[in-house]
Chains A and B, each alone.
Chain A
Amino acid sequence: MRGAARPSKCRPLSSRGIIFCLSRADLLNEWTLSLCLVMAVAAVLSPLLILFGLKFGTIETLRHRLVQDPRNREIRPMLSKVFDQEWLQQIGSRKDVSFVVPMTRQISASIDGTLEKDGSAELAGLDLIPTSGDDPLVLENGALIPEGNQCVLTQSAAEALGAKPGEMLVGYAKRMVGARYEAGELKLEVSGILSPRASSMKAAFVPLQVLEVVERYKDGQAVPEYGWPGTPALAYPVYDGVIVLLRKPFTPADEFKLVSGTGFTRIEQITAERFKALSSLEAPPDHSIYLVHTKQKSVTRQSLDAVKLKLRGSGAILIPWIKDLQAELTDPAGKVISSLTLHSVAAAPHDMERFPSIPLRGWTSDGDSSREPRKALLPEISKDLPTTVLFRMRRNEDVLSFPVEVLPKRASGDRAIIPVLLGGILNLFTERNIAFDPGQNQFVLKRRGYAGFRLYAATIDDVDGLKRHLEAQGIPVHTEAQRIRDVMELDGYLTLLFLLISAVGICGGVAALTASLYASVERKRKELSVLRLIGFSRGALFRFPVYQGVLIAGSGFLLALAFFFVMAWTVNALFRSHLQAGESFCRLSAWHLVLSVTAVGILASLSSFAAAWRVASIDPAESLRDE
């Protein structure tokens, strides 16, 4: 008897628990009606889950592909401009930039290559792409960063060459000198091959220095480190102006002629005293003196030649003028002995000792070569100066250090006197980087900057901001920002669409559940009033339809979830061939499930409020009265 009678389920201690058991028992008692309601809820929720699963899965797949492929983070400049090291370092230090490497000119960044083992096989044209450090395109596509004389080939380049990692590639940088072709040979070890998605180009990723030497060679310069012949890139003098001395003063028309098409922009007549101050020379009597100069940028020898041509036959004397320069006098160890102001004078090298006599024939460009005299008259700094000292100049981070022969005679003032040709070259250093090459015993030009860069944003969300930053600097760039924006917009539109459909579906579901629960309460007024009579409070009974609503909606949600998983599996199986590992077109995250459960619980509670309100208004006397 006891065993048969023992209640196992409905023996809770709190009235809340009892009400839950009663509401569950009532649903089970009318299981056919309850099942219909559960299926109705599932019919509303299933399409919504599938729709959201499709939206989320598709967008996430697109986003995943955007995130996974570093090409979508790449930012390429669309103009050829000189980007100096300083700018590149600045942009590379930004938090939203993960990688940047300079690029040489596109036209100079190609070689013809073949494998060393294939000897005379047909050459394949290869683009050279610079890489270094953290290049995501290389690292995220199955290769390591090449070093020294290594290269990483794209898939199409490797196929064209038949190359495998470890093999030696022989590349030929070609140039045309006059009417003949020349080629510089370089050997590169294939250290890796990228996956096909990295690039469809036939290209080799190489250290930046390889591109630099190829560019130098293609520009006609010699590349001693590779044994490639060519002309040296010598530094050249630039001037701040020219002083014109002549017996007859200029007419306004003459003055206009001198600043028209010569590179100069200003002309002014100066006094003999000013002339001496500028040139350290005595002005000849009965001469008008003019300073022809520019406001900002220095001019080359061509501008001086243009002035000379315009004054041909006038008997004018031309003296190039350079503003005083600052330098340091150092010992061979680099220790600063003295700071110097360098004053350039237009004395011929062999006239330096006779200075300050004015050149009788005026200035000529004959001596304007790279083999400038590195001589100087130093002021009285020390009595035991060596015959050769080191001068050092600085410009931002750049340092130019070079030896200078000290003439026995001392300069009269506190400035060091140097020949105007040397001054012109040192003046060039104020505008661009040059270096003294002891091997060639000449000043040579150093790279001013780079024609482009490869830049990768830290994340796809940073691309748009970087694009705007660069465009604000006047650098139009190509990015995949539009593609990223398209995905974001698609996500927005689909979310809106989903919300609209959800709103309609949920309204219908809530209305159906509300009506069903209310009708159920009306049908069970008698039983519910009995519950009130035997001691359930209004508050306790209020929960009766709420629990029923939550139970029905919860069961409906579980059924819908089961249906969703079946459908998601089917959809993903159907489109498996279009999906990569870890991708799916239809899926929900755990967070979505938590949100869905919460939303269903809240909506079910709201749906049952009308019924709950009705229950709370039932009077216990109704059970007696209706009898």
Chain B
Amino acid sequence: MGQSDQIHYSLRQVSKTRQKGGVAFELKIPALRIRRGECVAFIGQSGCGKSTLLDMLALVLRPTEADEFLFQISADYPALPRFQATSLNSASLQEIASLSDMQLAHIRRSQIGYVLQSGGLLPFLTVRDNILLPCALNGLADQWEVLEILAARLNISDQLTKKPRYLSGGQRQRAAIARALAHRPSVVLADEPTAAVDRINAGEIGRIFKSLAEEMGVTLLLASHDQQMVSATADRVFVFQVKKIGPTGTRSTVIESN
């Protein structure tokens, strides 16, 4: 079975409900199967549950109910020293629930990369240190070549010694993408990665991002409301169908768009 045939995420009849300010919200995911190396986009209006879905996929939020929730950990990833005893190579919902905070943190640091809406760079580190931080955290020393390649591809080679506050919005997003990919995670979650960038830049960033993810075999999950950017990068697109339930409640269902 090739890498592109491997299931990375498999979700069936997953739901997440929450009550906030007296307003009920329910996110339903009837079926979601994502293959390794795939680029999947989630499109929807604000408040439809894109971030909630990413939270669950990032293993920081547990579903309320789930018939199946499987996260396949990269088989070739060597460093899960704390879990050697359990030989964890996939994590079901039950297994995820039983993991300690430290174990979950270890999975996140080794398996997942993040690109947040405004970059999420640490303001007290230089761009270079921001990019290399996940590498250092994973014990991956001497990642100069990766750094050079990513910086060159993302066109931020001249910005590496600067602090994020001296970078433009587009440069910050490029640096965030470099940080998300530097330690070679199995999946990168990007939440509105081009929201703070002009259209021309957004298109270019999207293309580079897609290209790098493909080259590195990384599964790319995008949450965005930018239809143009999504159609340029995503292999598959999921949309959120929002319905009113009761006087104030909302139900959002994730379905694949044709």
Contact = CB atoms under 8 A, between A and B. Distances in A.
Whether A and B are associated in the same complex: the answer reads: yes
Interface of A: 1-2, 4-7, 10-13, 15, 18, 22, 25-26, 28-30, 527, 530-540, 619-621, 623-625, 627
Nearest to A2: B144
A430 B80 CA distance: 99
B139 to A, nearest CB: 6
Interface string B43-57: 000000001001100
A13 B51 contact: no
B102 A534 contact: no
B123 A533 contact: no
B136 A533 contact: no
Interface stretch (B111-119, B167-175, B207-215): B111-119
Most B CB atoms within 10 A — which of A11, A534, A539? A534
Nearest to A30: B124
A627 B191 CA distance: 8
A619 B101 CA distance: 11
A22 B126 CA distance: 11
Contacts of A624: 51, 54-55, 58, 60, 114, 116, 191
Nearest to A622: B60
A28 B102 CA distance: 28
B124 A26 contact: yes
23 contacts: A2-B148, A4-B161, A5-B144, A6-B144, A10-B125, A10-B133, A22-B124, A26-B124, A527-B124, A531-B122, A534-B108, A534-B109, A534-B133, A535-B108, A535-B109, A536-B105, A539-B102, A540-B105, A621-B58, A623-B114, A624-B54, A624-B191, A627-B116
B132 interface: yes
A30 B165 CA distance: 13
B161 A11 contact: no
B35 interface: no
Contacts of B122: 22, 527, 530-531
Contacts of A540: 105
Contacts of A620: 58, 60, 108
Contacts of A627: 51, 116-118, 120, 191-192
Given A10-B136, A22-B124, A627-B192, A5 B101 contact: no
A533 B117 contact: no
Contacts of B160: 4-5
B54 A25 contact: no
A22 B129 CA distance: 10
Most A CB atoms within 10 A — which of B102, B105, B161, B163? B105
Interface in B124-182: 124-125, 128-129, 132-134, 136-139, 141, 144, 147-148, 151, 157, 160-161, 163, 179
B106 A535 contact: yes
Contacts of A539: 101-102
A535 B134 contact: yes
Given A7-B132, A624-B191, A533 B125 contact: no
Interface of B: 51, 54-55, 58, 60-61, 101-102, 105-106, 108-110, 114, 116-118, 120, 122-125, 128-129, 132-134, 136-139, 141, 144, 147-148, 151, 157, 160-161, 163, 179, 191-192
A625 B47 CA distance: 11
Contacts of A6: 144
Contacts of A623: 114, 116, 120
Contact of A530 (B116, B136, B138, B141): B116
A530 to B, nearest CB: 5
A1 B105 CA distance: 32
A527 to B, nearest CB: 5
Contacts of A536: 105, 109, 137
A125 to B, nearest CB: 85
B157 A1 contact: yes
A373 B67 CA distance: 134
A2 B51 CA distance: 37
Contacts of B109: 534-536
A533 B114 contact: yes
A4 to B, nearest CB: 6
Given A5-B161, A620-B108, A624-B51, A29 B123 contact: yes
A533 B144 contact: no
A342 B149 CA distance: 124
Given A1-B157, A535-B137, 14 more contacts: A5-B148, A7-B129, A10-B132, A18-B137, A533-B58, A533-B108, A534-B179, A535-B134, A536-B105, A539-B102, A620-B108, A621-B61, A624-B58, A624-B191
